[in-house]
Each structure stands twice: as structure tokens, then as C-alpha cells.
Amino acid sequence: MKNVVLIAMLLIGSTSFGAIWTKMSDFGGEARHRTTMLTLGNKIYAGLGHYNGAGPNILFEDWWEFDPATNAWTQKANYLGGICYHAAGFAIDDIGYVGTGRISPQGSTLVKDFFKYDPTTNTWTQLTDFPGTGRRGAVGFAIGEYGYVGTGSSSEDMYRYHPPTDTWTQVASVPGGARMSAIGFSLEGNGYVGTGYRYNQGWSSTDFYKYDPSTDSWTQIADVGIDPINGPMPRMESTGFGLNGKGYVVTGVTISSGDNYKDFWEYDPATDVWTCQEDFPGTARRYMSATVLNGYAFVGLGTNGTNFKDFWRFDQALSVIEKNLDQISVNTYPNPATEFINISIDDFPSVSPEKLSMQFHNLLGQKVHEDEINLGENRIETNNWLNGSYIYTILYNDSPIKTGKILVTK
């Protein structure tokens, strides 16, 4: 029955599309926000954080591993710094580095200790303290062999960490004044920091800056979240990531406990332009965490007053294909076919074509043929097929992107 319904849907038109966002297994621990998330090797690691809402402020020290190959979470060694939330982190050479944050359920005890996590031994080791003041809501990212941590509680300063020598060096501060709960990520050898709560204006922001480590300098780039109808959408407590030459910002809030967002923005460094993308499909929220792995982005957790533990995968390639779907040319000939049919695919976006495949179903929903295909011309033998109509589906990484109908007559 499922295949019959699928065929009925495919007969409606020649364009189909797979999921740009895929919901994965929920985070293994309790729902929470202000967590820390890193990619180490082929696994994702996440933990710490807290939840409060209407009840007590509960802080966490647990640390979890996510394996995309099995879509499963496994608890690992607890964070050596104990309960903590709003900590910063980065990854270099498959070692995780985590530190700063707040460790007090009541009051505001801010720390500057720093630790490294080795996934091969599942152990934490204490490092030299972060040299700035104790803080929460700082940003962290890595460029080459260095990690960078800065901004956060009433701060605009930035520091560079060198793992082989376990040393910190102060670098140029982020422009725009002190800010907390900003976005920080690296992209093509540069660092990017923006948005957040700006203390000098008492509100969230849209400004963004690019850091060049070769000159130790910051350059202002285009503001993010400028809606063409509603104008600027200031935000804090958002999340962001760099992926395959583009920067991304997703979710956030106007001001703490204000209007939560689910919008999604893509930045092109070549044009210095932010473009609004299809909304994040989960619930609007703030304090979501993000990381990238093997060409995908993974995001999850957060709060809008209710704490979340959902976890999502973003497929950038499918996003590119969707935006260029009308330009993709698919020709089938001869149609009707007798002994064979040629499928020609042209004007395909610059994503990995080796992930293309094709399926053919008869009108009962039974699959009669499946094969990998290439850009350009592909010959499919039909001499053993029964006379009748068939629906073809072109897939990218197992997600349908184009459909159509052919006729076989002999």
C-alpha cells in the first residue's frame, strides 16, 4: 500500500524532493539548553548545560557521544570540571577543548578553567586556565592548529590557544563592544563572530565580523537577519556553523525570553550576502547547539521555556539542489522505449554527483530497476520489462529530487 501511495504522489508532477532536514535520534541525556557540542573524528560529542523553567536550576556534567552510522547516543566520561553550563569549546586534531561557563545553580559563579577530552581513551585532562576573566556565553572555534575563545559575560576580548604548548595568547578584541551569547564559527581559514547581547546598547544585535588570523584583525561584514519586509531581526542565543564554504545562522531570540526564532540564514563570503533559507523544521527556540561532520550539519537541544532534546541533520547538498531544481534538466529518449531508454541529466549543481541514483516502479508500486547514474547520458536496458507505464525517480543520497514517467512498448 505504501508504494502505491508513493506512485500516486509521483504521478501528480515531475518534481519531488527529499528532506533537507532529517530528525535523528533524540539526545541521550535529559532535555536541556546552553550545552557544548563538538565533532571529534567521525562522532559528535555533546553535554553539560542546564534546565530551569519554572522549577529549580539543574546543571549537568554528563558527556555523550553520537554515532551517525548507528544513529545512537552513548554516555561517556563526565566533564572533569563538574556541573557547568554556557561553556565554550572547540576541536583540533580530534581532541575536544572545553572550558569557562557558570557552575552555580544559584548566584553567578563563573569559571575560567579549561579541559581537553580524548575520545580514544574517554578521558578528560585539565589544562592551563583561560587567561581572561571567568565568564559564560563565550564563543569558541578553531582555525588550523589554534583554538579561539572570547566574548561572553561583559567581555569583548579574544584569546588564542596553542595545544602543543598549552599556552594562551591574547589577540585582537571583537569589535562592537562586550557581548554575550553570540555566534562563533570558522570558515575557510577565518573566524566569524556576530549577534548576541551587546552590553553597550542593552539589546540583541545583527552585526557580524570576520577575523583574519594572518593579520590579527577584524572586518565588519553584512549584518545577518535583515528581513526584506520586517527589516532587521536582532538576535542573541542563536547558533551557527561553517560548512563547505558557507556560513549559517539558525534560531535565536530577540532578547532573553522574548520572541524565539526558527529562521535559517546562509552567508556567502564571496558576495558578502546573507540569504534566508527554508525555516528550521523544529520548534522555534534559543540556545540550540550545532556542529558539522562529513558534509552535514547537526543541531539540537535548546529551549523556548520548554527544554528540548531533539537532534537534527541538515543536508547542505540537498539545499543547493532544491534552490536549483528548476535548472536541472532531465531528458528521456526514446520515449516510448522498446529495448532501452536513455536518461540524460544536465545542469546539475556543483555537489557530489556520485551520490546520484535512479529507481523505476511500475504503477503497482513494484520496483523493477535500481542503479547508480552519472551526469550526462545513462542507458537503461528495458528489453525484459513488460509493456506499460513506469515512474522513474532520481535520488540524491537516497532522497528523491526528480520524478517522471516513461512508456515501454514492444
Residue with cell 529530487: 401
**Section 28-44 average pLDDT:** 98
> Which pLDDT value is given to residue 256?
67
As a whole-number percent, the residues of the chain with pLDDT over 90 amount to 83
How does pLDDT run across 386-404, given as a tens digit for each residue? 999 999 999 998 889 999 9
3-state secondary structure at position 363: coil
As a whole-number percent, the residues of the chain with pLDDT over 70 amount to 95
> Which pLDDT value is given to residue 166?
98
Chain mean pLDDT for the chain: 93
In Å, the largest CA–CA distance within the chain is 81
How does pLDDT run across 173-206, given as a tens digit for each residue? 999 999 999 999 999 999 999 999 999 999 999 9
Chain centroid to Cα 342, Å, comes to: 37
Tally the C-alpha atoms within 13 A of residue 184's C-alpha that lie toward its C-beta.
28
How does pLDDT run across 98-132, given as a tens digit for each residue? 999 999 998 889 999 999 999 999 999 999 999 99
Task: Note whether 298 and 24 are within 8 A (CB).
Answer: yes
The arrangement of strands across the sheet holding 72-76 comes to: 36-40, 43-47, 63-67, 72-76
Lowest mean pLDDT, pick from 20-34, 153-167, 335-349: 335-349
> Which pLDDT value is given to residue 192?
98
pLDDT bucket at 355, cuts 50 / 70 / 90:
confident
Distance of alpha carbon 92 from alpha carbon 388, whole angstroms = 57
pLDDT bucket at 53, cuts 50 / 70 / 90:
low
> Which pLDDT value is given to residue 212?
98
pTM above 0.75, yes or no: yes
How does pLDDT run across 245-264, given as a tens digit for each residue? 999 999 999 986 688 999 99
| Long-range Cβ pairs for the range 65-68 (8 Å, 24+) | 65/119, 66/24, 66/25, 66/27, 66/28, 66/298, 66/311, 67/42, 67/43, 68/24, 68/42, 68/43, 68/44, 68/293, 68/294, 68/296, 68/298, 68/313
Task: Note whether 318 and 333 are within 8 A (CB).
Answer: no
Domains of the chain: 2-17+327-408 (2.60.40.10), 27-309 (2.120.10.80)
pLDDT tops 70 at residue 294: yes
Chain centroid to Cα 206, Å, comes to: 20
Residues 6+ apart with CB under 8 A from 255: 197, 203, 204, 234, 236
Task: Note whether 187 and 269 are within 8 A (CB).
Answer: yes
How does pLDDT run across 201-234, given as a tens digit for each residue? 999 999 999 999 999 999 999 999 998 888 899 9
